[in-house]
Chain A
Amino acid sequence: MESSELAPVKLSVSNLTKYFGDLEVLRDVSTNMRRGEFISIVGPSGCGKTTFLRIIGGLEQSDSGEARLDERKISGPGKDRGFVFQQDNLLPWRTVRSNTGIGPEINGEKGPEQHHRIERLLKLVGLGGFEEYYPRQLSGGMRQRVNLARALAVDPDLLLMDEPFSALDAQTREIMQTELMRIWEEGRKTVLFVTHQIDEAVYLSDRVLVFARRPGRIQEVVEIDLPRPRPLSLKRTPQFVAYVDHIWKLIEDDVRASVLEEHA
């Protein structure tokens, strides 16, 4: 898209390397993200996707290389980033409203405008009317919506999502994909999205980073040149299927190896 090509660089990652003990988890990962871009990461299990996201989120330190957000070096968590975890990790003793507002609360932002913002966000993710519910009263899909709203509540520059829909059933998942697209079209946040599902990555993204494993590194960057907004029916077009096939071929051998390893 024209606008994103002109947009300034939001996140720049250069030569990121990470070890866990002797295990080299990430080797020399470099990439740039422009403001408003939606980028997905796919790759076989254990290739370091989560680790990469956690480093960007400031939850993990890299061993060499660096990540910069708006020119500032990332050294810890911050309110310029919102993390959507795979498990919804909602605090069971807080209502939907209070869970959603925890980010601003931690940053000491209170008051009526915050209250209205949370209200608006919950409507945006389709949870208007459920503000006073406790997490145990919600379905999995609804909990993930709260998880998303909570990350959006800090109004982050960069939204980091680690397989946020993987715990959902197939139908709910597709609905969540379209909802995420709708929300993203409204705010145009910069999003870094990890998934195992290749079609999800293609459907959502401007670009897909295909990771290889042992050590984890970027194997190829696939530009997804499909018009937006994207209806679900797009998933059945030959173009779309060609993207999915292409990415699948890239990671097939790696995935096989990792599956065999897990069963060994």
Chain B
Amino acid sequence: MTTEAHPRAAKASVPATHRHKTQRHKKASGFWADHGWALTSVAIGLSIWEIISRFLIGNKLFLAAPSQVAVAFVELAGSGELQKHAWVSSLEFFWGYTSACILGVALGLVMASSKIAKQMLDPWVAGLYATPTVALAPLFILWFGIGIFSKIVVVALLVIFPVVINTEAGLRTTSPQLIETVRSFGANRRQIFLKVSLPSALPFIFAGFKLGIGRGLIGVVVAELFGARAGLGQMISQSAETFNMPALFAGVTLLAFAGIAMTSSFSWLERRLIPWRD
């Protein structure tokens, strides 16, 4: 079968704008159709949790019910306590995460463009990526103090490796045919990089950024658990020590929402920046 026919004829029957619309129409088939089952499943899960903790366990020190968590959440927010901790954690995450992304992309570029650099950095990147570096958090707190800097370092250390690895892999797997094509038009190295390698690596780089979100959040919390003046991790550990389960869950829930929110805004940004992908 040939879909080719004559493009002019094709254009007459299906104008460009119309085609775009039909495609978009198929995708956006309503909020409920897209998320209905997910919401239902969450609602059922929360109900079961509520029933178990209220009627089977019935001990707030052991397991807090979602309703109790919600109350704790509102109380903590009302006193400004929650905001204070969340702000500190956000700062730590933000600085650690952004510096790791910038540095990670830069290192990935270096590794992709120089064989020697790649060979020299490979063992470190592979080794440190596989190591559970959160375990080193106490060490960083010892070195850099109890303030936010030690947490920034831990976050950065956790985020940087997936970013480096993905950036390097994305650049390296750029199709040689595409490179050759622009080379045949007389492109220099810089142009090849900017017009082919970088855009083709972009989806990989984004995947690295996304992987980094979860790891970065773990970094914040774990580093704070080991010693901090403020922050959600510190709040959680304090709640645990005082058996304040509702507050503990409130902290965890907030972190979960932060993770979901960041991941989905990244997906949104990705669709914006990488529109050529389905």
Contacts and interface: CB of A to CB of B under 8 A. Distances in A.
B276 A107 contact: no
A4 interface: no
Nearest to B177: A89
B4 A139 contact: yes
30 contacts: A59-B184, A79-B185, A83-B185, A85-B181, A85-B184, A89-B175, A89-B180, A89-B181, A91-B178, A91-B196, A91-B199, A92-B276, A93-B199, A93-B274, A93-B276, A106-B182, A106-B185, A107-B185, A126-B6, A126-B8, A128-B11, A130-B7, A130-B11, A137-B19, A139-B3, A142-B4, A154-B185, A171-B2, A171-B4, A175-B6
Contacts of B182: 91, 102, 106
Interface in A81-135: 81, 83, 85, 87, 89, 91-94, 102-103, 105-107, 126-130, 132-135
Contacts of B8: 126, 128
Contacts of B178: 89, 91
Q: In which size bucket is the chain B interface?
A: 20 to 34
Contacts of A102: 182, 185, 195
Leading 9 A-B pairs by shortest Cβ distance: A141-B4, A83-B184, A129-B11, A89-B181, A103-B185, A93-B276, A172-B4, A139-B3, A126-B7
Given A78-B186, A92-B277, A139-B2, 19 more contacts: A77-B183, A79-B186, A81-B184, A89-B178, A89-B181, A91-B196, A93-B199, A93-B276, A105-B195, A107-B186, A129-B11, A129-B16, A132-B16, A135-B276, A137-B19, A145-B7, A154-B185, A169-B4, A175-B6
A126 B4 CA distance: 11
Contact of B200 (A93, A130, A137, A141): A93
Contacts of A106: 182, 185-187, 191, 195
Contacts of A169: 2, 4
B254 to A, nearest CB: 37
Interface in B165-207: 175, 177-178, 180-187, 191, 195-196, 199-200, 202
A15 to B, nearest CB: 24
Contacts of A256: none
B16 A133 contact: yes
B202 to A, nearest CB: 8
B241 interface: no
Contacts of A92: 200, 276-277
Contacts of B175: 89
A57 interface: yes
A215 interface: no
Contacts of A85: 177, 180-181, 184
Interface string A43-54: 000000000000
B4 A77 contact: no
| Chain B interface helix/strand/loop/mixed | helix
Nearest to B183: A77
B180 to A, nearest CB: 7
Contacts of B177: 85, 87, 89
A176 to B, nearest CB: 9
B30 interface: no
B15 interface: yes
B2 A172 contact: yes
A92 B196 CA distance: 10
Nearest to B7: A126
A139 B184 CA distance: 24
Contacts of A87: 177
A123 to B, nearest CB: 9
Nearest to B9: A126
B4 A140 contact: yes
A228 interface: no
Contacts of B2: 139, 141, 169, 171-172
Contacts of B187: 106
A230 interface: no
A136 interface: yes
Contacts of B199: 91, 93
Interface in B1-55: 2-4, 6-8, 11, 15-16, 19
Contacts of B195: 91, 102, 105-106
